[in-house]
């Protein structure tokens, strides 16, 4: 996206919103972006300044000290920070272990007023997808709300790139769905799609990270608006990305999958750094991810594919990784 693509969408005040949305910062482009999101998702949508701020504000607005939050062990730090800020009791379950989640819900849920299950749909450091059907069953069975963070799924999964819930045809059943605009959409900011308008109105008034911050610069909203026009139609790019991900995983003998995040777990932090350095020298920027971002002894390199990559691009990368792994096994 180039600046000249955005100019037709902007009036003269392109860069500084000047104030919070509830004061004078509510630029007309907000209306445009939220209306477009509502058309796409068929539900009310609210834009936040970032995914971090959205998670912080939404979770702390919805839950309080009489409530319980159930979160996958590997969820993003912003979810944990939101849960801590809320004052609710936070229960973590082992990554994607739905039996453990059910045991926790059965034991703990009755003692709390509200329960919120919160998870990512595609995990940021592992690239695996949640079992959404199972989460919805548990949510119904134990009278909980489900908050799905689709930061790594928006743009890349689903017929129109709306995320995993769209891919599985279950969007209507998720209570709150978070998307970020800074990843596949190529802009900045975030949005939440909610089941009822009253929930949107509640967040507008109660989510402190929404109320007490300067609104996004109009130029950012223009970029998001353009992305929301283009991305739903990029089906060919999404197909290519899925195929590329499956191919790369197969070549590296990794568990099957089709999301753009492909981690190669090597164990020790030093090993991940050394592989990342070696790839950098060969022209590949593949960062090492180490504790505390990931659990001890699961340091890794994380490959992030885009629709612009090709199998030819990947051939030398695969060769280098295989070489390193066989020398260091
Ligand atoms: C799962 C997840 N949620 C939320 C965020 C935060 O989003 P943002 O970068 O827009 O603050 C990130 C990463 O940035 C993420 O990986």
pLDDT at residue 130 in the model: 98
pLDDT at residue 230 in the model: 96
Q: Which of 49, 72, 151, 177 to mutate to test the pocket of ligand 1 (most atoms within 8 A of CB)?
A: 151
Give the pLDDT band of residue 11 (cuts 50, 70, 90): low
Asked: is 3-233 a CATH 3.40.640.10 domain? The reply is yes
Phi/psi zone of residue 297: left (φ > 0), alpha (ψ -120 to 50 degrees), beta? left
pLDDT at residue 13 in the model: 73
CA of 180 to the centre of ligand 1 (A): 7
Summarised one tens digit per residue, pLDDT across range 50-91 is 999 999 999 999 999 999 999 999 999 999 999 999 999 999
Domain boundaries, the chain: 3-233, 235-327
- Residue range 145-166: mean pLDDT, rounded: 98
Give the pLDDT band of residue 16 (cuts 50, 70, 90): confident
pLDDT at residue 323 in the model: 96
pLDDT at residue 316 in the model: 97
Give the pLDDT band of residue 202 (cuts 50, 70, 90): very high
pLDDT at residue 110 in the model: 97
pTM of the model: 0.94
Report the SS3 class of residue 91: strand
**Alpha helices, DSSP H, located in 73-114:** 77-86, 98-108
Summarised one tens digit per residue, pLDDT across range 261-316 is 999 999 999 999 999 999 999 999 999 999 988 889 999 999 999 999 999 999 99
CA of 203 to the centre of ligand 1 (A): 19
CA of 292 to the centre of ligand 1 (A): 16
The contacts of residue 306 (CB under 8 Å, 6+ apart) are: 241, 260
CA of 237 to the centre of ligand 1 (A): 23
Summarised one tens digit per residue, pLDDT across range 180-189 is 999 999 999 9
CA of 106 to the centre of ligand 1 (A): 30
Atom of ligand 1 nearest to the CA of 181: 10
- Model confidence at 7: pLDDT above 90: no
CA of 216 to the centre of ligand 1 (A): 16
Spell out the SS3 assignment of 183-208.
Answer: CCCCCCCEEEEECCHHHHHHHHHHCH
Q: Which of 47, 50, 51, 177 to mutate to test the pocket of ligand 1 (most atoms within 8 A of CB)?
A: 51
Q: Which two tokens stand for residue 284?
A: 């590949």
pLDDT at residue 291 in the model: 93
- Residue range 206-228: mean pLDDT, rounded: 96
Task: List pocket residues of ligand 1, CB cut-off 6 Å.
Answer: 50-52, 55, 76, 78, 120, 124, 149, 151, 180, 182, 190
Among protein residues, the one whose CA lies closest to atom 7 of ligand 1: 51
Q: Which CATH number fits domain 235-327: 3.40.640.10, 3.90.1150.10, 2.40.50.140, 3.40.50.450?
A: 3.90.1150.10
Among protein residues, the one whose CA lies closest to atom 5 of ligand 1: 51
Residues in the chain: 329
Among protein residues, the one whose CA lies closest to atom 9 of ligand 1: 51
Count other Cβ atoms within 10 Å, centred on residue 244: 21
| Extended strands (E) in the chain | 45-48, 68-72, 89-93, 115-120, 145-149, 176-180, 190-194, 261-267, 288-289, 299-304
Q: What percent of the chain has pLDDT over 70?
A: 99
Bridge partner residues of 68 (DSSP): 89, 115
pLDDT at residue 10 in the model: 72
Among protein residues, the one whose CA lies closest to atom 8 of ligand 1: 51
Q: Which residues of 8-29 are buried (b: 16+ CB within 10 A; e: fewer)?
A: ebbeeebeebeebbeeebebeb
pLDDT at residue 233 in the model: 98
Atom of ligand 1 nearest to the CA of 52: 11
Bridge partner residues of 300 (DSSP): 265, 289
Give the closest residue to 309 by CA, choosing from 234, 242, 219: 242
Mean of per-residue pLDDT scores for the chain? 95
């Amino acid at each position: 996206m180039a600046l000249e693509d955005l100019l037709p969408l902007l009036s003269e005040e392109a860069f500084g919103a000047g104030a919070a949305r509830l004061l004078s910062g509510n630029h007309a482009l907000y209306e445009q972006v939220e209306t477009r999101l509502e058309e796409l998702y068929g539900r009310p949508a609210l834009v936040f300044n970032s995914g971090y701020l959205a998670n912080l504000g939404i979770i702390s607005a919805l839950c309080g000290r009489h409530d319980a939050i159930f979160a996958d062990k590997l969820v993003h730090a912003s979810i944990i920070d939101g849960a801590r800020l809320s004052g609710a009791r936070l229960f973590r379950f082992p990554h994607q272990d739905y039996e453990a989640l059910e045991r926790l819900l059965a034991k703990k849920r009755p003692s709390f007023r509200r329960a919120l299950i919160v998870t990512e749909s595609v995990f940021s450091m592992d690239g695996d997808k949640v079992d959404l059907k199972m989460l919805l069953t548990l949510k119904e069975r134990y009278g909980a709300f489900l908050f799905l963070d689709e930061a790594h799924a928006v743009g890349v999964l689903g017929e129109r790139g709306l995320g995993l819930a769209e891919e599985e045809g279950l969007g209507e059943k998720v209570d709150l769905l978070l998307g970020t605009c800074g990843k596949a959409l190529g802009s900045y900011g975030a949005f939440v799609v909610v089941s009822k308008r009253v929930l949107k109105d509640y967040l507008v008034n109660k989510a402190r990270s929404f109320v007490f911050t300067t609104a996004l610069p109009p130029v950012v909203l223009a970029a998001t608006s353009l992305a929301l026009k283009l991305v739903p139609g990029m089906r060919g790019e999404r197909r290519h990305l899925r195929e590329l991900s499956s191919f790369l995983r197969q070549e590296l003998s990794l568990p099957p999958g089709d999301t753009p995040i492909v981690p190669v777990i090597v164990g020790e932090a030093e090993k991940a750094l050394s592989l990342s350095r070696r790839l950098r020298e060969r022209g590949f920027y593949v960062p090492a991810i180490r504790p505390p971002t990931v659990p001890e002894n699961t340091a890794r390199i994380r490959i992030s594919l885009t629709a612009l990559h090709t199998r030819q691009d990947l051939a030398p990368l695969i060769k280098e990784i295989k070489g390193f792994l066989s020398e260091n096994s």
